[in-house]
Amino acid sequence: MNPYKINSERRLLTVNHLAEMKQQGEKIACLTAYDASFSALLDEAGIDVILVGDSLGMVIQGNSSTVPVTLDDMVYHSRCVTRGRRRAFVISDMPFMSYSTVEQALQSAARLMQQGGAQMVKLEGAHADIVSCLVAQGIPVCGHLGLLPQSINQLGRYKIQGTVSEMAEQMIQDALNIEQAGASLLVLECVPAALAQTITRQLEIPVIGIGAGLDCDGQVLVLYDILNIESGRKPKFFKDFMTGSASVLEAVKKYRQAVKKQTYPAPEHCY
């Protein structure tokens, strides 16, 4: 019996389970959540990983970016999410300027795990030194490369990354460095599908894509996007799972099934 099937005995997933899913070729279905109610619903639908994203700054708080989100915000929402789930693995984002030094990163991660209940923390950028120090203290880490939303004021706008060969080669090296530093997971955001495929095949750790093509080991989307709640311009990888669904639960189950059966992302959702 496959332990990851939705109707199997519910047990709390661990980082080892995610590694096994990559080895077995089972796609990892991930969504964001920010409260206990949605967390419980995603858990019921069989979502493998819940990301408490700093995207809450935009979809919950109404900010124009993730930059204003504080560590207190992340701890609070992580605590809400972990109280709501029984099976899903929970990752919490480390917000802007909460890991500018090793000491600060350790303190921030400790709060997210001790007070927020997170099983893993995620940080943006090629910070192999910080990843190494966190892992040395027993803190599971998820890296994040490609589009880095916390750097929006430097980037100027949200746009695809890694289209130039030099940038692509650097991203591959950064991914290898993050893995070597001890990260257990990597998120690739808004990168060409071919580049994401190369990185996914070179790494032993699972790679979760958002706007990074079908060949990643799993997919993550913002919950509010798949429910078509957010207004404004939609990214290329956007897909509405709510239209035609009888309930939010059904929409989430459709998303999970699409990831597992590799019908999402389709070619039109990829760069």
**Residue 133, domain CATH:** 3.20.20.60
Residue 45 domain flag:
yes
Number of Cβ within 10 Å of residue 1's Cβ equals 7
Sign of CA dihedral 127, 157, 52, 199: negative
Active site residues: 189
Phi then psi dihedrals of residue 95, to 5 deg: -75, 175
Are the C-beta atoms of 59 and 77 separated by less than 8 Å?
A: no
For the chain, the helix, strand and coil percentages under 3-state DSSP, each to the nearest 5 = 40, 15, 45
Quote the pTM value. 0.94
Identify the CA nearest to 104 among candidates 139, 77, 130: 130
User: Per the structure, how many domains does the chain have?
Assistant: 1
In a domain, 197, yes or no: yes
Tell me whether residue 221 is in a domain: yes
Find where tokens 């389970």 sit: 17
pLDDT at site 7: 43
Query: For residue 9, what pLDDT is reported?
Result: 53
Residue 246 CA to residue 255 CA, distance in Å, equals 14
Mean pLDDT, 10 residues at a time, the chain of 271 residues: 47 96 98 98 98 97 96 98 98 98 98 98 98 98 96 78 95 98 98 98 98 98 94 87 98 98 96 94
**Considering the domain boundaries, does residue 112 fall inside one?**
yes
Residue 10 lies in a domain: no
Q: Three-class SS of residue 176?
A: helix
210 inside domain:
yes
Contact 30, 48 (CB under 8 A): yes
Q: Is residue 6 part of a domain?
A: no
What's the domain range around 180? 15-269
Residue 150 lies in a domain: yes
